[in-house]
Amino acid sequence: MVSLKQNRVILGFDRLTIKVGSALLVDAINGQLRQDWLNSLAADISRLKKTGMQILVVSSGAISLGRTLLGFEDKSLSLTQNQACASVGQVALAQAWRDALAAKKITTGQILLTPNITEERRHYINARATILTLLELGAVPIINENDSVATSEIRYGDNDRLSARVASMIGSDCLVLLSDIDGLYTSPPEADKKSIHLPMVRSVTPEIEAMASGTKNHLAKGGMATKLDAAKIATRSGTSMIIANGTKNHPLAALASGAKHTLFPASQSPAAARKSWILGTLEISGSIHIDDGAALAISKGKSLLPVGVKNISGDFDRGDAVSIIDPKNIEIARGLVSMNQTEASKAMGKKSEAIMGMFGYMNRTELVHSDNLVSIGQSITGNQDHE
Residues in touch with ligand GLU (CB under 6 A): 21-22, 60-64, 144-145, 147, 158-159, 220-222
Complex with ligand GLU: residue 147 or 343, whichever CB lies closer: 147
Q: What distance separates the 2 farthest-apart alpha carbons in the chain?
A: 70
d(CA 242, CA 255): 10
Query: Which stretches within the chain are classed as H helix?
Result: 22-25, 35-50, 62-69, 79-102, 115-119, 121-136, 159-169, 206-211, 224-236, 251-256, 270-276, 292-299, 341-347, 352-355
- Contact (Cβ atoms closer than 8 angstroms) between residue 48 and residue 252: yes
Shortest Å distance, C-beta 156 to ligand GLU: 8
Size (the chain), residues: 387
Shortest Å distance, C-beta 63 to ligand GLU: 3
d(CA 224, CA 206): 14
Complex with ligand GLU: residue 158 or 326, whichever CB lies closer: 158
- Beta carbons within 10 angstroms of residue 244's beta carbon: 24
Shortest Å distance, C-beta 91 to ligand GLU: 12
Which conformational region is residue 311 in: left (phi greater than 0), alpha (psi within -120 to 50 degrees), or beta? beta
- Contact (Cβ atoms closer than 8 angstroms) between residue 224 and residue 188: no
Give, in degrees to the nearest 5, the angle at Cα 143 between 142 and 146: 135
Complex with ligand GLU: residue 22 or 303, whichever CB lies closer: 22
d(CA 282, CA 322): 9
Shortest Å distance, C-beta 121 to ligand GLU: 23
Complex with ligand GLU: residue 178 or 305, whichever CB lies closer: 178
Give, in degrees to the nearest 5, the angle at Cα 96 between 147 and 166: 45
Shortest Å distance, C-beta 296 to ligand GLU: 47
Shortest Å distance, C-beta 66 to ligand GLU: 8
Q: Which of 346, 341, 339, 331 is nearest to 377 (CA)?
A: 331
β-pairing verdict for 174-179 and 240-245: parallel
Q: Which of 218, 270, 212 is nearest to 243 (CA)?
A: 212
Shortest Å distance, C-beta 10 to ligand GLU: 21
d(CA 366, CA 387): 16
Complex with ligand GLU: residue 213 or 303, whichever CB lies closer: 213
Shortest Å distance, C-beta 98 to ligand GLU: 16
Shortest Å distance, C-beta 14 to ligand GLU: 26
Complex with ligand GLU: residue 63 or 321, whichever CB lies closer: 63
Complex with ligand GLU: residue 158 or 371, whichever CB lies closer: 158
Complex with ligand GLU: residue 225 or 279, whichever CB lies closer: 225
Shortest Å distance, C-beta 163 to ligand GLU: 9
Complex with ligand GLU: residue 227 or 289, whichever CB lies closer: 227
Complex with ligand GLU: residue 167 or 307, whichever CB lies closer: 167
d(CA 174, CA 264): 10
